[in-house]
Structure 1
């Protein structure tokens, strides 16, 4: 496997140079800012002793920014792995958090339920690949689908959590749209729209941590 193989998949990139995607690279700071903001909110929470997993999510959120920065500067296969690995870790960690905090599962059941995301993604991916426009982001679409299912399922049990998750789904769908139309509208907007995927995703991922923080805070109250 050629780990140094160049990858050019974004409108803004016009060459192999390190700063060929300056806006896509710099906007990854949004993830780090969101991580810092949420870290401070968690630390100031009265329930901070119960929010160890929230702090872990904040750390992974910062790593998402770093990994994406590496990808949009180096644009190689190894940096693509650095980009996607923290995202996958965040998704799996939050599913575990949701199973523990929102459904009250013991840790072993929560881990088992988290692993079900893999067959869920595998089964739904072919359907998402057929979608117009959003099909290019099919690999990400199982995530908002699962969050939406959790929101619906929790609407009676935890209405505030369900509302927060639903809002995050809305933000994520707009974010995925910006990711998906980056190449199609490149001729009209040479900068592309991928940078909006970074900004909106940072807001959404930080928001998911906030939903969890508020839930734990309410439980403690």
Structure 2
């Protein structure tokens, strides 16, 4: 595989130059900004998620500037790490599981995604966004199961699902709307994802604080 091969995957990109996707590149600052804002409001695993959130912005910036396969890896790996860390945090703190059961359930996300992503891929128009679809599905499952145990947390997770679905729509529409909107819509995917991932950290933080107060 040629790790330096040019990738032209988004409407905004018109060539192989570094700044060929200026909006897609610059809007990654939203991830870093969300990480900085949430850092002051959270603690523990919340701050770990903030660090990963900042790395997501850096990795995506590399992909939308260099636009090469190695940069694509730098783009997607931090996202996967964020998802896994959040699932672990949810298993531990939403369900009150100890370390090893929480880790065991977290690992199950890999086969869950491996099974569900190809099924989403069968839906017309979803394209590569199908690989992200298992995430809102899992969050929705957690929200449903938590609705009686922790209704406020369940509501927060449901809001996260709604934001992510709108965000995924922006990613999906980038190609189909390209002729009418040359700047594309992928930059909205960045902005909305930054909001959504930051929101999810806030949901976790509020849940843990509420649990601590209830335990006093």
Specify the TM-score bucket, using the shorter chain as the normaliser: over 0.9
CA–CA distance in 2 between the matches of 1:59 and 1:125? 27
The answer as to 2:182 corresponding to 1:190 is yes
Q: Which moved more, 1:147-156 or 1:132-141?
A: 132-141
The answer as to 2:126 corresponding to 1:134 is yes
The alpha-carbon deviation at position 134 of structure 1 amounts to 2.4
Counterpart pick for 2:76 among 74, 84, 88: 84
Q: Which residue of 2 aligns with 1:47?
A: none
CA–CA distance in 1 between the matches of 2:165 and 2:86? 18
The answer as to 2:17 corresponding to 1:17 is yes
Q: Which residue of 2 aligns with 1:177?
A: 169
CA–CA distance in 2 between the matches of 1:85 and 1:192? 24
CA–CA distance in 2 between the matches of 1:95 and 1:161? 14
CA–CA distance in 2 between the matches of 1:87 and 1:118? 13
Q: Which moved more, 1:75-84 or 1:120-129?
A: 120-129
The answer as to 2:66 corresponding to 1:74 is yes
Q: Which residue of 1 aligns with 2:85?
A: 93
Q: TM-score, normalised by structure 1?
A: 0.95
The alpha-carbon deviation at position 136 of structure 1 amounts to 3.2
Q: Which residue of 1 aligns with 2:5?
A: 5
The answer as to 2:104 corresponding to 1:112 is yes
Counterpart pick for 1:163 among 155, 158, 168: 155
Q: Which moved more, 1:194-203 or 1:1-10?
A: 1-10
The alpha-carbon deviation at position 132 of structure 1 amounts to 2.4
The answer as to 2:194 corresponding to 1:202 is yes
CA–CA distance in 2 between the matches of 1:220 and 1:97? 15
The alpha-carbon deviation at position 135 of structure 1 amounts to 3.6
CA–CA distance in 1 between the matches of 2:212 and 2:106? 25
Spell out, residue by residue over 1:112-159, the C-alpha distance to the aligned partner (whole angstroms, 9 max, x if none): 000110111111122100112224310000000000000000000010
Q: Which residue of 2 aligns with 1:35?
A: 35
Task: Quote the RMSD (CA, aligned, Å).
Answer: 0.8
Structure 2 unmatched runs, 5+: none
CA–CA distance in 1 between the matches of 2:4 and 2:127? 27
CA–CA distance in 1 between the matches of 2:27 and 2:71? 17
Number of residues of Structure 1 aligned to a counterpart in Structure 2: 213
Q: TM-score, normalised by structure 2?
A: 0.97
| C-alpha contact (below 8 Å) 1:134/1:176 kept by paired residues | no
Where has structure 1 moved over 4 Å in runs of 4 or more?
none
CA–CA distance in 1 between the matches of 2:84 and 2:98? 16
Residue aligned with 2:183, SS? coil
